[in-house]
Chain A
Amino acid sequence: MKRSKEPLVWALFSSGGMLAALVLPALAFVLWFGIPLGWVPAPSYEALVAEIGHPVAKLVLLGLVTLSLFHWGHRFRYTLYDGLQLSHLYGMIATLCYGGAAALSLLAAWVLWTFPLP
């Protein structure tokens, strides 16, 4: 009997979920509230650009974004199957979710690749 390829996407989903759980709240708090609302001493534009320019920083960001997107894709796929009882649209939903995650990840890779080096 052929074995399902679910383990691959499940691995992405669970590592994305753990990473998102540990890192995203702090990141969101600083980037969405702390800096824009002036609650914290904000790093300057030049300093941020210099940091993001590092290849290591780009890789870390790409990893975070890709895993988070695949976490969303896998989980949302099952939310649509079970929450809205759309499991008969198996192929279409899988394409939408994983394809969407892959496409957005590629877009992120391009954004980071073309990010100006200081």
Chain B
Amino acid sequence: MARSIRLQIRRYRPEDEREPVWESFEVPDRPEWMVLDGLNYIKDRLDGSLSYRWACRMGVCGSCGMVVNGKPVLTCATYLSALGPDPVRVEPIKGFPVIRDLVVDIEDFVRKLESVKPWIIREEEKPLSEGEYLQTPEQLAEYKQQSMCINCLLCYSACPIYALEPDFIGPAAIALAQRYNLDSRDEGTEERMDVLSQHEGIWCCTFVGECSVVCPKDVDPAGAIQRYKVKATADWFKSLLMPWGKR
């Protein structure tokens, strides 16, 4: 069956054009193909200059996020045949500057992620002789959902606030901060609160909720942010009304 499906790619070659343009390619319509397979076919056989990121091709590395038919998805996890027979539009992730074709500059996200210190912070490390930090299944369940984040940036693409407010640290960064805040081994909640409690931290968020809708790993960043708002508010009032409390 020599059926083919049309892929419309948003190309951008900064040395040739000021604005991105659409280019169409016909790729075979194989039932087992993902959108990523279509892109690889184009690069291998039709136009080797097509630029895009991918790695694990199984939905765990977070490299291949793109906007397909208007929705941010992992191209390695989206069936091509399910999107046909109309042309399938593939664009880069929204909200980030486009370097070339489907490749975006994610430096802004990396900086913001680093600012929330996404690692276990402890005042004092336990000596090795005392063994590992123990954690019950209930303690693990507290933060497990947020730990599934693969930094694919689909949530940043879906979040309208991230596109509007350049300093907003964004859903994944806050979700990952929460992953560590809720980890029983971590003692860094106060430190992270300095960044998160700024206007550009959690307060920019207006609970649109699209981030949780598009997340391929069901991290629910929107829920994590709202729960953190409740906690931050409670802490603020506590420190106001009971300033003698341990900080």
Contact = CB atoms under 8 A, between A and B. Distances in A.
Contacts of A14: 230, 233
A11 B198 CA distance: 16
Given A7-B235, A78-B206, 6 more contacts: A3-B194, A3-B198, A6-B197, A7-B197, A8-B236, A14-B230
A85 interface: yes
A93 B164 CA distance: 17
A11 B201 CA distance: 17
A7 B195 contact: no
B22 to A, nearest CB: 27
B60 to A, nearest CB: 33
A1 interface: yes
Contact of B229 (A10, A81, A85): A10
B198 A4 contact: yes
Given A10-B203, A82-B161, A1 B233 contact: no
B205 to A, nearest CB: 9
Contact of B236 (A3, A78, A81): A3
Contacts of B199: 4, 6
Interface of B: 160-161, 164-165, 193-195, 197-199, 201, 203, 206, 229-230, 232-233, 235-237
Interface residues of A, number: 14
B165 A87 contact: yes
Given A3-B194, A4-B197, A82 B233 contact: no
Contacts of B230: 14
A81 B233 CA distance: 22
Nearest to B206: A78
A1 B206 contact: no
B165 A4 contact: no
A1 B193 CA distance: 10
A3 B160 contact: no
A32 B233 CA distance: 35
Given A1-B198, A11-B237, A6 B203 contact: yes
Given A1-B198, A4-B198, A87 B164 contact: yes
B197 A3 contact: yes
Contacts of A78: 206
B188 to A, nearest CB: 15
A1 B200 CA distance: 13
A82 B168 CA distance: 12
A7 B193 CA distance: 12
5 closest residue pairs by CB, A with B: A7-B236, A7-B233, A6-B203, A1-B194, A3-B197
Nearest to B193: A3
A10 B204 CA distance: 11
